[in-house]
């Protein structure tokens, strides 16, 4: 359909019909067996006509159900406008992939794109048109439960994954390719900066930090063509995102040139009353429509008050028309006017959902996402080793994590199943352990098994409800009962390996005496097989942290790309008046970029193809040699960091500017080259513009953000 035809439809619509297009309702308004409730429910007090005409629907799934709702919808709609189905498909539809934070640890754009592509296919055949993903909030505070939904703490890495996800979900042409769904960038903006890590809390960031650290990943997704943007719940500079003109009109639309619609988060327009910036629903509606929010999710400030606003001032009619046009354009981009059922297909649904190839992909991606944090040589295990598997995460299907509403526990390969299928001598504890309580029986069995076996694999961690939305924690240690279990087993067992299932970086002090620690995150449907493949060495772990692990919660936020202070600790470690804690180091326990493998790779030599450059249009080639000093085949993630020695604002001591994954055979030596575009050295200046300063830069290469021994100086004239 051409734009002119959409405009003709809009001309024919009554003002109330237009307002209805702006309303998003959840699936339970249309079906009795809705599954995805993702926010507080309230009585909306709307009539059947409004329900029948509400422009978009949240959380429907199942091809037949979606087709039925669509058929009714179009029949009842005077202009034959189709509805649009949206849902939170965050890390897989029914085939559940590792949580996004784990996907971040793959450092693999291909893996992330593949996850998005499979999620899109499974969603599309089930009748969905759009996913509320990618979530691109930069995260630095592991107390915030939603760190599990982000790919991590780094603007560059997050931006690379943002592009990969949008490409995977949307492909090249949403109208033609029914296996794809539209992507929604969220939460604009800086929701990850919630003070104290408490969900929905105030965000207070400087505009330079906002622009330099928080906004790039959203912008990358928008540049990659993402179709929708969702507002954040939080305030910035005291203004809630859903009424923030500067963010949405000036930055998103004028600067980032975003043309699609904006959707509020669940009830976020009405919540401006709670924020204390709107006296009532009418004022909330006014603030939101003026800010350019087109769709109101699950409250009815627009539906109840936009017409009143229009009566008072006709300018609101123009704003309403703009919003309706953007919504219809998105429906049109998805091809819904021509084919309102789009990819929905009950036959294909049976074929593709949770297919063997999707499971295989989920397993491989889970393997890539797991991070080996400690290994004193115990890993990999031999298949003959007598192993006892103990702990609350051993036999449970709770390996999927939050935002896996279509995933089913009984479709998950548990750690017990995975290890038993591979190991020849695996005994699984028969008394099921609880996450928060040890019974005498479970402890006794654990101790007995520790005595009888060569190795105890302890599967510990969080339940799925302990991370995700509304799941902040002030204490990020393992539950005390699990620490007690660890201590009891540690005292007896010859060797103890801990496999962690969790959605956030944890304080792991209590298990530091483990012989090996594998951070498996919430690995998804194929989690158990992936854990087994790593523990038995069929797969050499290649995951690298995309978010730092603190020593303890008191250090939070601890992240790698910090600035120097005026009194840096490193310059005078014995001095009193330097920036430090009296009781803990300044550094993360496990830093950004960190992760072990079974191989030992040395970094030798660093060379730049030019050490002096004249213009910021140039590209510099950075070459290093890798030497695999072991027999193990491995994948090494080579990381390139930069420090701008003198800037107009204090510059981070290191910033990731490139990376590559290199396959190395046993004992292989390989020279690799990374390209650094000098324009990527730009940063936000005090006048809020991006540019590169002439001067000296340190170019550093290494296996993680801490071990950066190879350094060269680059001079920009």
Q: Which residue has the tokens 């405009």?
A: 7
Choice between 58 and 514, CB closer to ligand NOJ: 58
Q: Sign of the CA dihedral 346, 350, 351, 355?
A: positive
Task: Give whichever of 29 and 592 is closer to ligand NOJ, judged by the CB atom.
Answer: 29
* Complex with ligand NOJ: residue 265 or 374, whichever CB lies closer: 265
Q: How far is it, in rounded angstroms, from Cα 14 to Cα 36?
A: 32
Nearer to ligand NOJ, 93 or 132 (CB): 132
* Residue 610 structure tokens: 């030019």
Range 614-673, binding ligand NOJ (CB under 6 A): none
Toward ligand NOJ, which CB reaches closer, 102 or 558?
102
Q: Tokens for 597? A: 């493998």
Question: Looking only at residues 563 through 602 of this chain, which bind ligand NOJ when binding is defined by CB under 6 A?
Answer: none
In the window 541-560, what residues touch ligand NOJ (CB under 6 A)? Answer: none
Select 462 or 469, whichever has its Cβ closest to ligand NOJ. Answer: 469
CB of 200 to ligand NOJ, least distance (A): 9
Is 141 part of the annotated catalytic residue set? no
Min dist CB 63 to ligand NOJ, Å, is 21
Give least dist CB 383 to ligand NOJ, A.
Answer: 42
Between CA 620 and CA 624, with CA 622 as vertex, the angle to 5 degrees is 170
Is 469 a binder of ligand NOJ (CB under 6 A)? Answer: yes
Q: Shortest distance, CB of residue 100 to ligand NOJ, whole angstroms?
A: 12
Q: Which residue has the tokens 């307002």?
A: 19
Phi, psi of 702 (to 5 degrees): -175, -175
Distance of closest approach, residue 186 Cβ to ligand NOJ, in angstroms: 5
Q: Which two tokens stand for residue 176?
A: 């033609």
The closest of 275, 274, 253, 273 to 262, measured between CA atoms, is 253
CB contact at 8 A, 262 and 231: yes
By CB under 6 A, tell whether 199 contacts ligand NOJ: no
Is 57 or 378 the residue whose CB approaches ligand NOJ more closely? 57
499 forms beta bridges with 459, 518
In whole angstroms, give the CA distance from residue 383 to residue 472: 39
Query: Which tokens sit at 32?
Result: 């009795």
- What the block records as the tokens of 514 is 């483990």
Q: Quote the CA–CA distance of 116 and 353 in Å, as a whole number.
A: 14
* Residues 241-280 as x/- pattern, contact with ligand NOJ by CB under 6 A: ------------------------xx--------------
Closest CA to 302 of 328, 275, 283: 283
Angle at 511 between CA 493 and CA 91, to 5 degrees: 115
Give the nearer residue to ligand NOJ in terms of CB position, either 86 or 381: 86
Cβ closer to ligand NOJ: 129 or 490?
129
Residue 615: both structure tokens together = 């213009």
DSSP secondary-structure letter at 295? B
- Site membership for ligand NOJ, residue 38 (CB under 6 A): yes
Report, in Å, the least distance between residue 361 CB and ligand NOJ: 24
Identity of the residue, 38 or 548, whose beta carbon is nearer to ligand NOJ in the bound complex:
38
Q: How many residues does the chain have?
A: 717
In DSSP notation, 561-623 reads: SPBP-SS-GGG-TT-SSSS--SSS-SS-SB-TT--B-SS-EEEEEEEES-SEES-TT-EEEEE
Strand 235-236 and strand 239-240: the pairing is antiparallel
Shortest reach from residue 403's CB to ligand NOJ, in Å: 8
Task: Name the β-bridge partners of 507.
Answer: 477
Binding status of residue 39 toward ligand NOJ by CB under 6 A = yes
Query: How far, in Å, CA of 500 to CA of 495, rounded?
Result: 16
Of 88, 141, 265, 398, the active-site residue reads 265
Range 127-156, binding ligand NOJ (CB under 6 A) = 132
Q: In the set 186, 326, 447, 490, which binds ligand NOJ (CB under 6 A)?
A: 186
Minimum distance from residue 146 beta carbon to ligand NOJ (Å): 8
Name the token pair of 565: 């202070």
Size of the site for ligand NOJ (CB under 6 A): 8
- Least distance (Å) between residue 271 CB and ligand NOJ: 11
Is the C-alpha dihedral spanning 601, 604, 610, 616 positive or negative?
positive
Question: Toward ligand NOJ, which CB reaches closer, 132 or 641?
Answer: 132
| Minimum distance, C-beta of residue 343 to ligand NOJ, in the bound complex (Å) | 21
Residue closest to ligand NOJ (Cβ) = 38
Task: Say if CB 371 and CB 519 are below 8 A apart.
Answer: yes
Largest CA distance in the chain: 80
Query: If you ran DSSP here, which 8-state letter would residue 254 be given?
Result: I
> CB neighbours of 147 closer than 8 A, spacing ≥ 6?
101, 139, 141, 192, 467, 503, 504, 505, 547
Nearest to 18 by CA among 300, 337, 286, 321: 321
Backbone torsions φ then ψ of 126, nearest 5 degrees: -90, 5
354 with 410: CB under 8 angstroms?
A: no
Smallest distance from ligand NOJ to CB 327, Å: 17
For residue 296, state whether it binds ligand NOJ (rule: CB under 6 A): no
Contacts of 224 (CB under 8 A, 6+ apart): 162, 163, 166, 167
Among 88, 141, 212, 655, binds ligand NOJ (CB under 6 A): 88
Residue 247 is given by DSSP the state: I
Which residues have a catalytic role annotated? Answer: 265
Give contact residues for ligand NOJ (rule: CB under 6 A). Answer: 38-39, 88, 132, 186, 265-266, 469
């Amino acid at each position: 359909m051409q734009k002119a035809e959409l405009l003709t439809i809009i001309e024919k619509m009554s003002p109330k019909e237009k307002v209805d297009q702006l309303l998003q309702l959840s699936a339970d308004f249309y079906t009795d067996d809705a599954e995805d409730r993702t926010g507080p429910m309230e009585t909306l007090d709307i009539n059947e006509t409004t329900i029948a005409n509400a422009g978009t629907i949240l959380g429907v799934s199942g091809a037949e159900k979606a087709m039925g709702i669509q058929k009714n919808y179009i029949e009842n709609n005077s202009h034959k406008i189709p509805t649009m189905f949206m849902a939170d498909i965050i890390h897989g539809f029914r085939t559940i992939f590792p949580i996004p934070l784990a996907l971040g640890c793959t450092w693999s754009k291909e893996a992330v794109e593949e996850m998005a592509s499979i999620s899109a296919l499974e969603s599309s055949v089930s009748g969905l048109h759009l996913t509320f993903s990618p979530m691109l909030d930069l995260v630095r505070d592991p107390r915030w439960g939603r760190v599990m939904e982000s790919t991590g703490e780094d603007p560059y890495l997050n931006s690379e994954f943002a592009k990969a996800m949008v490409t995977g979900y949307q492909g090249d042409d949403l109208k033609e390719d029914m296996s794809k769904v539209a992507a929604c960038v969220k939460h604009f903006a800086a929701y990850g900066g919630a003070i104290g890590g408490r969900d929905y809390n105030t965000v207070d960031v400087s505009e330079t930090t906002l622009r330099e650290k928080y906004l790039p990943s959203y912008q990358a997704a928008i540049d990659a063509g993402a179709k929708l943007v969702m507002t954040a719940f939080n305030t910035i500079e005291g203004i809630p995102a859903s009424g923030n003109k500067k963010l949405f009109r000036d930055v998103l639309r004028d600067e980032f040139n975003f043309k699609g619609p904006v959707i509020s988060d669940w009830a976020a327009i009405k919540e401006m009353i709670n924020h204390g910036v709107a006296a009532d629903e009418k004022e909330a509606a006014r603030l939101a429509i003026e800010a350019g929010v087109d769709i109101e999710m699950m409250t009815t400030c627009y539906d109840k008050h936009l017409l009143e606003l229009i009566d008072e001032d006709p300018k609101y009619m123009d704003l309403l028309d703009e919003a309706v046009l953007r919504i219809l354009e998105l429906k049109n981009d998805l091809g819904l006017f021509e084919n309102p059922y789009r990819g929905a297909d009950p036959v294909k649904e049976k074929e593709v959902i949770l297919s063997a190839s999707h499971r295989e992909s989920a397993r491989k991606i889970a393997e890539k996402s797991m991070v080996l944090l400690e290994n004193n040589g115990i890993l990999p295990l031999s298949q003959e080793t007598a192993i006892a598997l103990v702990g609350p995460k051993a036999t449970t299907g709770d390996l999927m994590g939050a935002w896996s509403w279509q995933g089913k526990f009984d479709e998950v390969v548990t750690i017990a199943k995975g290890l038993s299928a591979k190991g020849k001598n695996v005994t699984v504890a028969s008394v099921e352990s609880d996450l928060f309580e040890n019974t005498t029986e479970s402890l006794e069995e654990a101790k007995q098994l520790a005595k009888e076996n060569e190795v105890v694999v302890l599967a510990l961690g969080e339940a799925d409800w302990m991370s995700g939305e509304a799941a902040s924690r002030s204490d990020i240690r393992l539950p005390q009962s699990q620490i007690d279990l660890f201590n009891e087993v540690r005292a007896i067992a010859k060797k103890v390996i801990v496999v962690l299932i969790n959605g956030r970086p944890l304080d792991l002090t209590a298990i530091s005496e483990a012989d090996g620690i594998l951070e498996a995150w919430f690995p998804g449907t194929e989690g158990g097989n992936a854990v087994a493949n790593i523990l038995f060495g069929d797969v050499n772990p290649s995951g690298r942290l995309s978010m730092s692990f603190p020593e303890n919660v008191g250090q939070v936020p601890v992240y790698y790309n910090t600035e120097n202070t005026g009194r840096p600790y490193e310059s005078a470690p014995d001095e009193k008046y330097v920036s430090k804690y009296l009781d803990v180091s300044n550094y993360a326990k496990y830093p950004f970029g960190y992760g072990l493998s079974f191989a030992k790779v040395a970094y030798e030599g660093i060379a730049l193809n030019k050490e002096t450059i004249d213009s910021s249009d140039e590209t510099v080639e950075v070459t290093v040699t890798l030497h695999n000093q072991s027999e193990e085949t491995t994948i090494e993630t080579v990381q390139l960091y930069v420090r701008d020695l003198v800037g107009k604002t204090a510059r981070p001591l290191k910033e990731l500017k490139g990376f590559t994954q290199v396959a190395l055979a046993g004992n292989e030596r390989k020279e690799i080259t990374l390209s650094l575009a000098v324009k990527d050295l730009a940063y936000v200046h005090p006048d809020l513009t991006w540019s590169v300063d002439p001067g000296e830069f340190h170019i550093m290469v290494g296996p993680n953000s801490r071990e950066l021994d190879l350094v060269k100086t680059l001079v920009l004239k």
